[in-house]
Structure 1
Amino acid sequence: MNQRGPVSVDALHRFDAIIDARSPAEFARDHIPGAINCPVLDDEERRIVGTLYKQQGPFEARRVGAAMVAANLAHHLRTQFAERPAQWRPLVYCWRGGLRSGAMVTWLRMVGWDAQQLAGGYKTWRRHVLKQIETMPPQLDLRVLCGPTGSAKTRVLQALAAQGAQVLDLEALAQHRGSVLGALPGVAQPTQTAFETRLAHAMQALDTRRPVYIEAESARIGCLNVPQPLVQRLRASPCIEIQADTPARLDFLLRDYAHLGDDPALLAERIAALKELHGKQVIARWQAWAQERALAPLFAELIALHYDPLYARSQNTHLYQWPQRHTVNTEALTPAHIDTLARQILALETADRQLTNAAPGVACAGAGPARP
């Protein structure tokens, strides 16, 4: 039976499974990507043990908790672990790499599996995530997709990924589309820590020698904050602007945001968040259209009075290479046109690379040095 000591985060890939022994609530807040939750104490049991520890001391807490742990481990052995082969190698972690994961590792080793414990538990993982968020963004060769609301930036990003490009889709990681109307129907955003874990995991998978396409985002997506190292790298990176006329953008929004008409009361409530910017009369008109499911006039005015003015003010302020941006034009934003835009954007990269190779030391438009 293998009795090696706790292992580091760098060794995660060597194991057949990663087991989170914490309670379901802890697991829901954040966990190592790919981990399965096999709690040794559920949420209520953890509360009971914690209360006993405070009121009656550690012995009583451990006596009661041990029975709970034994019952839960027996359940996992009969269910989650029942079909695992003799050669199975799981890595187990809890909050600090202490009693909970230690108890599970002991039992798994008694069965005969080569179970190991993550040194420092989830807290070690969290430190790893924060280090990745700090150190990875400066290494990324970002290309920032820009364009006013309705330019299909997210769909173009998805088309780029389908055509083999590297992308970092912040809205997908945050489970939100970024604007006041960007909440996804029936989908809650992750916690801030879970978002950061997803982001670190996504960045770690990128090849820093190749360009990475990313959508221009503010420092906040829904209720989540984009880490500052990535915000600063994004703002200092070359820009590519998608240009489409207003009718094309409106047509796209009516297709892509059609779900907003499914809940008029909720849509009206979200529009109320813009009251300070546009006044009671305008908001009342927009809310009336929302209640009537009249999305065409509502979206048209949101473009003209809210989103386009905001876009015009923000780009040159927040994107340091905005004056040197590349542009790609389209007459429509159908799926076929979006695929064409992605090909045009990839062609820009090829042209830039050829120009750089032909004239070493000369920076091409849109790919100059970052502003300090």
Structure 2
Amino acid sequence: MAAKDKDRIVPLERMDEFDAIIDARSPAEFLEDHIPGAINLPVLDDTERRIIGTIYKQRSAFEARRLGAAWVAKNLARHLQERLQQYPPSWRPLVYCWRGGQRSGAFVTWLRMIGWSAAQLAGGYKTYRRWVLERLAELPAHFSWRVIAGPTGSGKTRVLQALELRGHQVLDLEALARHRGSILGAWPGGEAQPTQKAFDTALVAALRRFDPFRPVFVEAESKRIGLVQLPEVLHEAMRLAPMIVLDTPQECRLQLLLEDYGWLGDEPAALARRLERFKGFVPNETLRRWQELALRRDLATLFAELIARHYDPLYRRSLARHPELVQAPRVRLTGLDTAALEAACGEIEAWGSASELLPRPSSAAASARPP
């Protein structure tokens, strides 16, 4: 390959050399997932891409390329007149599309003709996605995990946040998934969960920031959080990791649920419909009562019954399947105020230095920093 070609088409490992990353794919492709920090400057919008694809398959490749070239030229002209006006001659952008083909190639050709030292990502997003999956298959084994467990409403997320404020490494899977994992765990405000691909990308970004020579605290989670799924390697590492169980008084648990889920009471009818998801888990009579409580906005009674009649029985059944939860050290969380959280963190730190919380061989930190 000539030196000029090497400057124009670069591998993934050189991505950090550039001033900006441009995603030339359609808005829908970008929304599904993209390289962190990339800006979306599509050479074909969603409708144009669909039309070109149809012409290519049903009529002729030549006709599709001819029409596509006209639309690409139109869209590139708009980007040059709008989003790209601000950049100096020294600006160095890296452009990618799905496979590093015609869309990013056309974009780079125009940018280089203007005078910018633009380059094309070899293999495009497809290569990046393969790299993400490879990292997910090997990164979790580099870390020493500490799992915070406990029944619903015991304050696991609050404790993780307090540990992070004290300088500890924390992986907040629910924040990445934008879901709390339970039947009513949707994020406030109707915010949608990321796609599986976007969740994977965010997870790799989080893992790569961790120091493998320090423990990482994480909340006990099932393999699925709402609509997204944890990588098998990470879930297994968490399953084998030392565990600490929070012991939180009932009144504190109810207070936490009212604080974290109180927004559900803003739309009583919508909450009543959400409760339909418990159908089959509780008797129909119980479900009707809960829906009546929702319509009356009596969240305190509703959440107390959810704890007593669904979540705690579910947790007790999990204890039977996971005896390590019974044997794990317990930390008392006496409240949700700063002093109570600090006290719980102090106990966790003390347990964390104890021999019974040392990682098992299968989840021990690797001797080298992960890539």
Q: What TM bracket, shorter-length normalisation?
A: over 0.9
Offset, 1:315: 4.3
Distance 1:205 1:160 in 2: 16
- Deviation string 1:214-233 (CA, Å, 9 cap, x unpaired) is 00001111111112111111
Is this contact kept in 1: 2:180–2:186, CA < 8 A? Answer: yes
Distance 2:149 2:37 in 1: 32
Structure 1 range deviating more: 303-312 or 20-29: 303-312
Select 2:298's aligned residue among 281, 294, 301.
294
Distance 1:214 1:144 in 2: 5
Using CA pairs under 8 Å that are at least 6 residues apart, name the structure with larger relative contact order, 1 or 2: 2
Q: Which runs of 5+ in 2 are unaligned?
A: 364-371
Distance 1:305 1:371 in 2: 37
Distance 1:81 1:312 in 2: 58
Counterpart residue number, 1:281: 285
Distance 1:273 1:209 in 2: 43
Distance 1:321 1:111, change over 3 A: farther
Instruction: Give the letter aligned to residue 113 of structure 1.
Output: W
Offset, 1:132: 0.8
Distance 1:60 1:371 in 2: 57
- Deviation string 1:323-369 (CA, Å, 9 cap, x unpaired) is 552221122123442243234323433x33xxxxxxxxxxx113352
Distance 1:257 1:55 in 2: 51
Distance 1:371 1:311 in 2: 26
Instruction: Give the letter aligned to residue 44 of structure 1.
Output: T
- Deviation string 1:157-189 (CA, Å, 9 cap, x unpaired) is 112112211111110111101100110122000
Counterpart residue number, 1:231: 235
Counterpart residue number, 1:38: 41
Instruction: Give the letter aligned to residue 360 of structure 2.
Output: P
Counterpart residue number, 1:365: 356
Does 2:154 align with 1:158? no
Structure 1 range deviating more: 251-260 or 336-345: 336-345
Distance 2:307 2:351 in 1: 28
Distance 2:298 2:329 in 1: 36
Counterpart residue number, 1:201: 205
Distance 1:141 1:368, change over 3 A: closer
Distance 2:205 2:319 in 1: 28
Query: Considering only aligned residues, what root-mean-square deviation do their CA atoms show, in Å?
Result: 1.8
Is this contact kept in 1: 2:319–2:326, CA < 8 A? Answer: no
Distance 1:140 1:316 in 2: 28
Distance 1:336 1:38 in 2: 49
Instruction: Give matches, 1:34-113, under 5 Å.
Output: 34-113=37-116
- For normalisation by structure 1, the TM-score amounts to 0.92
Offset, 1:35: 0.8
Counterpart residue number, 1:171: 174
- Deviation string 1:71-95 (CA, Å, 9 cap, x unpaired) is 1111111121111122211111000
Offset, 1:286: 0.7
Does 2:11 align with 1:20? no
- Deviation string 1:120-163 (CA, Å, 9 cap, x unpaired) is 11110110011011111122211001111111111211121122
Counterpart residue number, 2:225: 221
Distance 1:370 1:293, change over 3 A: farther
Q: Which runs of 5+ in 1 are unaligned?
A: 353-363
Counterpart residue number, 1:257: 261
Is this contact kept in 2: 1:30–1:197, CA < 8 A? Answer: yes
Does 2:236 align with 1:245? no
Counterpart residue number, 1:136: 139
Structure 1 range deviating more: 47-56 or 331-340: 331-340
Distance 1:55 1:371, change over 3 A: closer
Is this contact kept in 2: 1:151–1:333, CA < 8 A? Answer: no
Is this contact kept in 2: 1:324–1:365, CA < 8 A? Answer: no
Offset, 1:301: 0.9
Is this contact kept in 2: 1:2–1:114, CA < 8 A? Answer: no
Counterpart residue number, 2:366: none
Select 1:126's aligned residue among 115, 119, 129.
129
Distance 1:315 1:127, change over 3 A: farther
- Deviation string 1:84-108 (CA, Å, 9 cap, x unpaired) is 1222111110000000000011111
Instruction: Give the letter aligned to residue 261 of structure 1.
Output: G
Is this contact kept in 2: 1:22–1:94, CA < 8 A? Answer: yes
Select 1:314's aligned residue among 314, 318, 328.
318
Identity within the alignment, %? 54
Distance 1:132 1:368, change over 3 A: closer
Distance 1:252 1:221 in 2: 20
Q: Secondary structure at the match of 2:217?
A: strand
Is this contact kept in 1: 2:33–2:198, CA < 8 A? Answer: yes
Instruction: Give the letter aligned to residue 119 of structure 2.
Output: Q
Is this contact kept in 1: 2:237–2:362, CA < 8 A? Answer: no
Instruction: Give the letter aligned to residue 101 of structure 2.
Output: G
Is this contact kept in 2: 1:321–1:366, CA < 8 A? Answer: no
Offset, 1:249: 1.0
